[in-house]
Amino acid sequence: MAQNTPPPMPQNQPHMMPPAQMAPPQQTLPQQGGQFVPPAQQAPYPPVHQMQLGGQVGGGNAGFGRVLLSEWTKIRTVRSTIWTLVVMVVLILGLGVLLAGTVKPDTDDDYVSVSLIGVIVAQLAAATLGVLTISAEYTTGMIRTTLTAYPRRLQVLVAKGVVFAGLMFAVGVVTMGLTAMIGKSMLTSRIGDSTADVDLLRSVVGGSLYLAVIGLFGLGLGVLLRHSAGAITALMGAILLPMIIGPFLPQSVGEKVMQYSPMFALGKLIGGGGDDGGPGPWPSLLLIATYATVVLIAGGIRLRSRDV
Amino acid sequence: MIEARGLTKRYGTKLAVDQLSFQVRPGSVTGFLGPNGAGKSTTMRMILGLDAPTGGNVTVNGRPYNHVQAPLREMGALLDAKAMHGGRTAYNHLLCLAQSNGIPNRRVDEVLGMVGLTQVAKKRAGGFSLGMGQRLGIASALLGDPGILMFDEPVNGLDPEGILWIRNLMKQLASEGRTVFVSSHLMSEMEVTADHLIVIGQGRMIADTSMRDFIETNSQSFTVVRSPQVDKLNTLLRGKGATITPDQAVAGAFRVHELPPAAIGDLAAEHGIALHELSPRFDSLEEVYMRMTQHSVEYRAGLPGGPPPGWGPPGMAPPPGYPQQGGPQFAGPPPGYPQQGAPGAPWGAPVGAPGTGAPTLSKPQSNGSEG
């Protein structure tokens, strides 16, 4: 009987004793914090009565610019961002250099598009990072801290989107621009001048915009589904499935499924117009941006209306 | 000031918070008390606008929380110490929060110093101990130097040193005129921390009163007596109109109700009966609370008067330094803690004074509305 066990005069209730009896001798009282040498992952409690709780909090205000800065700090201070960017750069640049040094394209091929093949794989990393940007907040519980500090939820989502898309675009332009130049000069020196029309704006800028847009699509799925694994699975399905199941569908349907898919848009953007039908590079990009917008709006509605 | 009016939250058919109306005022520590599942955390999430109320509303300094321009400057909250990205360093975690409210970077260093985490500022928060994580959460609550602070179960799982630190911090914050709202299911902790109490059970208000009133109004007093001549003494005491019940905690001891300790001692001396113990007791907050909430606790334990299963984490020992929760025989403060009647004792009843020492028979005011 649990209720029989406590003695009438409990002896071992250190929490109610005066501070002097509070801690065993070898433990350090808060008042003696200065003498305490902490082990590696330990920190002493500072004396409360000496705490100056007020301080320099400034007179600034919260606004969209602030939350933008906050989201930038968040995205640059987690390892998943760094790793994803490293993977993206290695894939784009490495694959580009590898191909430029080995393949033998015809001289009427677009050397830039050959060099940028790595983007097709790198987009998976970009989209996954888009998912993690928001889903990791749900997984860790950080979202509650975020929304406590800044309760205007849609602004938080928009700020995340702006920061993330900006980062993807910037990294994309630099990496793809570099890869395109290196790859083109390598192929030119190996095989000779290409007769194909090279559209650097379409390939590099369009490709970078695509990375930002597919990442926003991932962000939208992340805020909509709130679970990293589920959202990443849905994302991979959306990117890869059309190209896999397209050929097995009746031709008229399968063609449309493939032509309106993200992969097709990326192919058009880095690989040139071609004459394989379907929308052109820029309309394709716009279509994918529409997908991303739809998912983001749905996610935004859920973020706004649901408890966190 | 936090003000709730008719605050209600319904999950499906379950009413988690039922028509709560209360005010949390500046300058004192207001304890928010209730067993696990009583609706404390839900109420706090509604205060922060994380959960939308099904009915009623709650304001922070007169405005709904999500209409506050820079919330960290008005209210700091620690709901869940784990609510942070473990891969981010302590400094960066605080930095991103500070930036969203336009708080300068140097304030981050200040609050890290306040909670004693300066040395580990560049370490990832995921590797922090529970106490350090809790302090990081407190640092984030202090970032904006807010006038209102809210802590959800801040001492849960902490060691005695951490418990003492947080308790002193809360008192310090209140003494500076801030509003401090702290929830707990640990009665003993509230007893030494809070000045004012808001008690809920099953989402409903049970009491909203000062700590002193709560204990004085609802506490029963009695005297624990031990004597080698039990039968003789008992007969004499019954003759004086006392009620006697065996004290289950110690063999041979019994509780005498409705007779002041002085009268018991005099009676024993008159008849030459030796007394081995004569100790006046008051119900602790814990016992008062258990009695008041027994009918409102969601899932009752099989044992009458025993703690409900929701009381503390199932299957876990109480945190170090805590008494066994729900031990109904625990009465009055333990040795070392200021005894009843000592200056500053929350229940403030002089020992042995017949007037105040007599059992308080008045029912808890709010009990009627509960049934």
> Rounded to an integer, what distance in angstroms lies between the CA atom of residue A176 and that of residue A305?
39
Q: What is the DSSP string of A262-308?
A: HHHHHHHHHH---SS-S--HHHHHHHHHHHHHHHHHHHHHHHHHS--
> Rounded to an integer, what distance in angstroms lies between the CA atom of residue B357 and that of residue B222?
8
> Rounded to an integer, what distance in angstroms lies between the CA atom of residue A265 and that of residue A282?
8
pLDDT, average across residues A178-194: 90
Q: Does the predicted TM-score (pTM) go above 0.80?
A: no
pLDDT, average across residues B266-287: 85
- Is B340 or A233 the better-scoring residue by pLDDT? A233
- Of the listed ranges A271-285, B33-47, B328-342, the one predicted with least confidence: B328-342
Structure tokens at B268: 């024993």
pLDDT, average across residues A162-175: 97
Structure tokens at B196: 């004012």
Chain B residue numbers with beta carbons less than 8 Å from the beta carbon of A73 are 92, 95-96, 99
Which residues 6+ apart lie within 8 Å of A3 measured at CB? B248, B303, B305, B306, B326, B327, B328, B329
> Rounded to an integer, what distance in angstroms lies between the CA atom of residue B275 and that of residue A164?
78
What pLDDT is recorded for position B142? 94
Torsion of CA A288, A294, A296, A300, to 10 degrees: 170
The answer on pLDDT for B293 being more than 60 is: yes
A95: pLDDT confidence band, cut at 50, 70 and 90?
A: very high
The answer on pLDDT for B360 being more than 90 is: no
Q: What is the DSSP string of A229-255?
A: HHHHHHHHHHHHHHHHHGGGS-HHHHH
pLDDT, average across residues B175-204: 90
pLDDT, average across residues A163-179: 97
Q: Among A261, A38, A286, A211, which residue's Cα sits nearest to residue B118?
A: A38
- Of the listed ranges A21-25, A102-106, A264-268, B351-355, the one predicted with least confidence: B351-355
> Rounded to an integer, what distance in angstroms lies between the CA atom of residue A215 and that of residue A73?
18
> Rounded to an integer, what distance in angstroms lies between the CA atom of residue A8 and that of residue B121?
46
Structure tokens at B370: 């509960």
Q: Residue B165 is nearest to which of A45, A136, A140, comparing CB atoms? A: A45
Chain B: residue whose CA lies nearest to A27: B161
Structure tokens at A4: 């029989």
pLDDT, average across residues B215-242: 84
Query: Degrees (nearest 5) of the Cα angle B318, B216, A14?
Result: 30
Residue-wise burial string across A74-107, b where 16 or more C-beta atoms lie within 10 A, e elsewhere: bbebbeebeebbebbbebbbebbbebbeeeebee
What pLDDT is recorded for position B296? 55
CA distance B77 to chain A (A): 8
pLDDT, average across residues A186-211: 89
What pLDDT is recorded for position B340? 38
Residue type, A91: L
What pLDDT is recorded for position B37? 85
What pLDDT is recorded for position A24? 42
What pLDDT is recorded for position B329? 36
CA distance A74 to chain B (A): 6
pLDDT, average across residues A29-34: 41
The answer on pLDDT for B53 being more than 70 is: yes
Asked whether the beta carbons of residue A48 and residue B165 sit closer than 8 angstroms, the reply is: yes
Q: What is the pLDDT of residues A214-273, one digit of tens each?
A: 999 999 999 999 999 999 999 999 999 999 999 999 988 998 899 999 999 999 998 865
Please identify which residue in the block is written with the tokens 């019940």. B245
Cβ count near B309 (within 10 Å)? 17
The mean pLDDT of chain A is 84
Chain A: residue whose CA lies nearest to B118: A43
Contact B126, A41 (CB under 8 A): no
Asked whether the beta carbons of residue A307 and residue B95 sit closer than 8 angstroms, the reply is: no
- Of the listed ranges A182-186, A255-259, B321-325, the one predicted with least confidence: B321-325
> Rounded to an integer, what distance in angstroms lies between the CA atom of residue B364 and that of residue A114?
82
> Rounded to an integer, what distance in angstroms lies between the CA atom of residue A261 and that of residue A278?
10
CA distance B206 to chain A (A): 24
What pLDDT is recorded for position A273? 57
Chain B residue numbers with beta carbons less than 8 Å from the beta carbon of A2 are 303, 306-307, 324, 326-327
CA distance A147 to chain B (A): 7
> Rounded to an integer, what distance in angstroms lies between the CA atom of residue B97 and that of residue B120?
18
Alpha helices of chain A — where are they, by DSSP H? 19-22, 64-76, 79-89, 95-102, 111-115, 118-140, 142-149, 153-191, 200, 207-225, 228-245, 251-259, 262-271, 281-305
Which residues 6+ apart lie within 8 Å of B342 measured at CB? none
> Rounded to an integer, what distance in angstroms lies between the CA atom of residue A248 and that of residue A289?
26
Chain A residue numbers with beta carbons less than 8 Å from the beta carbon of B51 are 307-308
3-state secondary structure of B245: strand
**Beta-carbon contacts below 8 Å between A and B:** 250
Chain A: residue whose CA lies nearest to B113: A46
For A:18-57, CB contacts with B below 8 A are 18-19, 21-23, 27-30, 33, 38, 41-46, 48-49, 51-57
Chain B: residue whose CA lies nearest to A38: B119
Secondary-structure breakdown of chain B: helix, strand, coil percentages, each rounded to the nearest 5: 35, 25, 45
Contact A43, B139 (CB under 8 A): no
Q: What percentage of residues in chain A have a pLDDT greater than 70?
A: 81
Most confident among A44-53, B139-148, B184-193, B352-361 (mean pLDDT): B139-148
Asked whether the beta carbons of residue B336 and residue A45 sit closer than 8 angstroms, the reply is: no
Q: Is A69's Cβ below 8 Å from some Cβ in B?
A: yes
- For residue B103, what are the CA distances in angstroms to A64, A137, A268, B254? 14, 22, 46, 61
